[in-house]
Amino acid sequence: MYDVLFHIPHKLGGVPVFGWGLAVLMWLLAGGGWIAWQSWRHRASADALGGLAMLGVGAAAIVWLAPRMEEFDVRSNQVLGIAIHGYGMMVTLGVIAGVAMALRESQRMGLDAEFIHGLAMRLFIFGIAGARGLYVALNWDDYVRPTWRDTVVEIAKFTQGGLVVYGAFFGAMAAAAWYVRSRRQPLLAVADLIAPAMLAGLAFGRVGCFLHGCCFGGECPAGALAVSFPSSSPPYYHQMVRGRFQGLWLAPGDSSRELLVARVDPASPAALAGVSSGMRLTRINDVEVDTSVRHWMPLVGASMVAVETAEGRVFRWETPAPPPRSLPVHPVQLYSAASAAALSLLLWAWYPLRRRDGELIAGLLLLYPITRILEEAVRDDEPGRFGTALTISQWVSVGLLAAGAGLAWYLAKRPPGCARFSPSTPA
């Protein structure tokens, strides 16, 4: 796990980097130069005007938001700067790889690079917004802060993890549909062009998940494929608050006022105290259970544990020293990265062989949801939804499978033939 790779320093040569500093100056110079070039080429084209808006938004983020994202080291009493996380770095590399793939194929098809760059910018911005928005919506309690400004800052820390792939997919597809239509290009043909690129970006992003520790797998026997994460990681915290280091596995009970002991490890402190699977706990360390609270904090940091069952029985034991690392889990992030990379290569090889526009995006909608459903079966970071064992991602996967089947049926009814790209001009 390599969460923080390095820090962009607070100052360079005594000059602040963020706020009214070097970063905003470089942004304005680079962005202004790009807009001037676009205006010279196209005379106030849609891309140039849209770039002006993006320039203002980016400058505002550097001046107002970036200083609030800098980290402070209490020990040295110094501002360290903005941390560059492994997750954010891999997402960036994924964007670069995806754009490079799309550019290569677009040149073969006679589509100019300007269109791809404009499309990539919108896919990235709206993809990140959709991915972050869906994650925050599903975990809202983790992001609420005393003031709305602090809440916005916390939500903006997407480079530290907390993105939902399907949120990115829907956000990016909505932006792509609007942009492609505005440039009078064939929608299904462009969707085929970017399908392998999206999966390549996902492969890099999943490696970033592994570096951060999010999207983790369930427990597995120690072995060649098993990994364990340090005490600062999401898998470690997930196991700790669910009683795994006490020998328990706690799950929501039949009501919001009880927890079910789903499993007890033999010879564990809880088992030696007399706790058995199937018991329903209503109090932990004299705190009434409330499963509407996502984490069950009474188990964290206590030297003694006392649990009370629905029948009024009380069991006590002394907590063991916490382990330095999590229990072994499946490296499901790497499984996902490998499957996304394989699907990306498959679609890329398929691209010159397709007979109809839409075949690749239909293939993506049919193949990726299957792999995602299988991955979710060994993940352990999300509960089942709607009274079932299926996670949100599995429910969405089922819907996308149906959409992919419908698109494949529609394409099969069409005569063979692929549309030609037209000169990329705005509406």
Domains of the chain by start residue, with CATH: 4-18+70-217+331-412 (no CATH), 234-318 (2.30.42.10)
pLDDT band of 9, cuts 50, 70, 90: confident
Per-residue pLDDT averaged across 161-177, rounded? 83
Tally of CB atoms within 10 A around 147: 8
Q: What is the pLDDT of residue 304?
A: 83
Distance separating alpha carbons of residues 172 and 164, to the nearest angstrom? 12
Crossing angle of helices 165-182 and 392-412, in 10° steps, is: 40
For 95-132, letters b (16+ CB in 10 Å) and e give bebbbebbbebbeeeebeeebbebbbbbbbebbbbbbb
For the whole model, what pTM was predicted?
0.79
For residue 114, the one-letter residue type is E
Distance separating alpha carbons of residues 379 and 297, to the nearest angstrom? 22
Looking at the chain, the whole-number percentage of residues with pLDDT higher than 90 is 25
Q: Which two tokens stand for residue 7?
A: 């820090």
Q: Report the chain's terminal Cα–Cα distance, integer Å.
A: 47
Distance separating alpha carbons of residues 75 and 95, to the nearest angstrom? 36
For residue 105, the one-letter residue type is E
Q: What is the pLDDT of residue 150?
A: 80
pLDDT band of 296, cuts 50, 70, 90: low
Specify whether the CB–CB gap between 18 and 27 falls below 8 A: no
CA distances from 306 to 258, 262, 269, 281 (A): 15, 17, 12, 10
Q: What is the pLDDT of residue 365?
A: 95
Looking at the chain, the whole-number percentage of residues with pLDDT higher than 70 is 91
Q: Which residue has the higher pLDDT, 333 or 6?
A: 333
The 10s digit of each residue's pLDDT in 352-407 is 898 999 999 999 999 999 999 999 999 987 777 777 778 888 999 999 999 999 99
Q: Which of 2-16, 23-37, 177-191 tops mean pLDDT?
A: 177-191
Using only C-alpha atoms, what is the Rg of the chain?
25
Which three-class secondary structure state does DSSP give residue 307?
strand
Q: Which residue has the higher pLDDT, 110 or 14?
A: 14
pLDDT band of 119, cuts 50, 70, 90: confident
pLDDT band of 426, cuts 50, 70, 90: very low
Region of poorest pLDDT, from 283-287, 288-292, 365-369: 288-292
- Does residue 51 have a pLDDT over 70? no
- Does residue 55 have a pLDDT over 90? no
Q: What is the pLDDT of residue 237?
A: 86
Mean pLDDT of the chain: 84
For 47-56, letters b (16+ CB in 10 Å) and e give bbebbbebbe
Q: Which is it for the CA torsion 400, 402, 407, 408, positive or negative? A: positive
Q: What is the pLDDT of residue 344?
A: 96
Q: What is the pLDDT of residue 329?
A: 94
Q: Which of 28-32, 75-79, 361-365, 412-416 tops mean pLDDT?
A: 361-365
Q: What is the pLDDT of residue 427?
A: 42
The residues facing 391 across adjacent strands are: none
On the 0-12 / 13-18 / 19+ scale of CB atoms within 10 A, 311 is exposed
